[in-house]
Structure 1
Amino acid sequence: MESVTNYNEININNPSENNELKLNFVKPKINIYNHTEIFNDTDIIYYKIMILTDSVFVWIGSELVNERNNITHLNNLAMSMKTKFSPIPIVTTLLGNTLEEISEHMSSRLSTKYFKQVYVSYNINSNNPDISVFAERSLVKFLKTIL
């Protein structure tokens, strides 16, 4: 997908003038990635990652019901960002329950690591506490390949 960004206006009132249309194509400012990991040979973890110019959006879930691999639910969303005023990132919950802190902690650690604004939505329903650690480690490993 390419966009047209810079153009010169054509003067249609004066056809004798040398009218020239100049097009410059630029790469899109957003990249979308799909990734899956298997935890303990039974649980599938799905990742949807959008890399924007100065931020990263990550959705992590345990199910994709839609046949097009679209996100089926967004139960929570946390955002964090580093500032020059504090060594600890600013973190807030934008959507969902603030008692579920996995998204907040994960976005905080990722923004510290990559110095970007990070949005995380963690949507895994599992009683196993190790799955969130595995999901974050797999995410960081995958982010190293694309960032």
Structure 2
Amino acid sequence: MEENISIPNSNETLPIEYIKPSFEIHGFSTEITETPVYFHVMKMESSVFIWIGSGSDPTFEDLSMAMNTRYDSLPLGTRLMGPGTDMTSSNLAIRLSKKLGQAVYVSYNLASDGLTLPAVEKRLHEEMKTHPEKFGI
């Protein structure tokens, strides 16, 4: 759809073209050890943001980012926010960036134990298989 707009103090008009927003949001959930876990995925142009957290305590205290480079087969990852000793979100972002072939932001707001993290990753991969378009695949 195209529309024209008049420029103030001028006889000129310019066309304005409306485009579809490039952000798409997708949410899903699962239950891990009787605890509800929620996932929010925001697909952007050439990147994806994934928030993972609890429904009973929805926080945003952690953020990491990873992206592929031409210098190494392993994506480059960094922690942007949260305690520097917990590398869960950074490692997850690196694995997802390698799989998706794009920049990935991960906010992991759950306990990093041996039961929760594998179940979270399994559910995330199931959702990627079911809805690849929501992850930019």
TM class, shorter-length: 0.7 to 0.9
In the alignment, the residues of structure 2 paired with residue 115 and residue 34 of structure 1 have an alpha-carbon distance, to the nearest angstrom, of 21
Helix, strand or coil at the partner of 1:120: strand
For residues 83-105 of structure 1, give each alpha carbon's deviation from its aligned partner in whole angstroms, at most 9, with x where no partner exists: 01111111100001121111011
Helix, strand or coil at the partner of 2:73: strand
Match of 2:88 among 71, 95, 102: 102
Unaligned regions of 5+ residues in structure 2, if any?
Answer: none
The question of 1:113 aligning with 2:115 is answered no
Partner in structure 1 of residue 28 of structure 2: 35
8 Å contact kept, 2:5–2:16 = no
How big is the shift at 1:59? 0.6
In the alignment, the residues of structure 2 paired with residue 59 and residue 107 of structure 1 have an alpha-carbon distance, to the nearest angstrom, of 11
How big is the shift at 1:25? 2.9
Between Structure 1 and Structure 2, the one with more strand by share is 2
Aligned AA for 1:96?
G
8 Å contact kept, 2:5–2:15 = no
Helix, strand or coil at the partner of 2:74: strand
Partner in structure 2 of residue 49 of structure 1: 41
For residues 104-143 of structure 1, give each alpha carbon's deviation from its aligned partner in whole angstroms, at most 9, with x where no partner exists: 11100000001110000111137x5221111012112212
Greater RCO (CA < 8 Å, at least 6 residues apart)? 2
In the alignment, the residues of structure 2 paired with residue 59 and residue 89 of structure 1 have an alpha-carbon distance, to the nearest angstrom, of 19
Helix, strand or coil at the partner of 1:107: helix
Aligned AA for 2:20?
K
Over alpha carbons, which structure has the higher Rg? 1
The question of 1:130 aligning with 2:122 is answered no
Aligned AA for 2:98?
T
Unaligned regions of 5+ residues in structure 1, if any?
Answer: 66-71
Partner in structure 1 of residue 124 of structure 2: 139
CA RMSD of aligned residues (A): 2.5
- How many residue pairs match? The answer is 131
8 Å contact kept, 1:39–1:134 = yes
The question of 1:75 aligning with 2:67 is answered no
In the alignment, the residues of structure 1 paired with residue 56 and residue 26 of structure 2 have an alpha-carbon distance, to the nearest angstrom, of 15
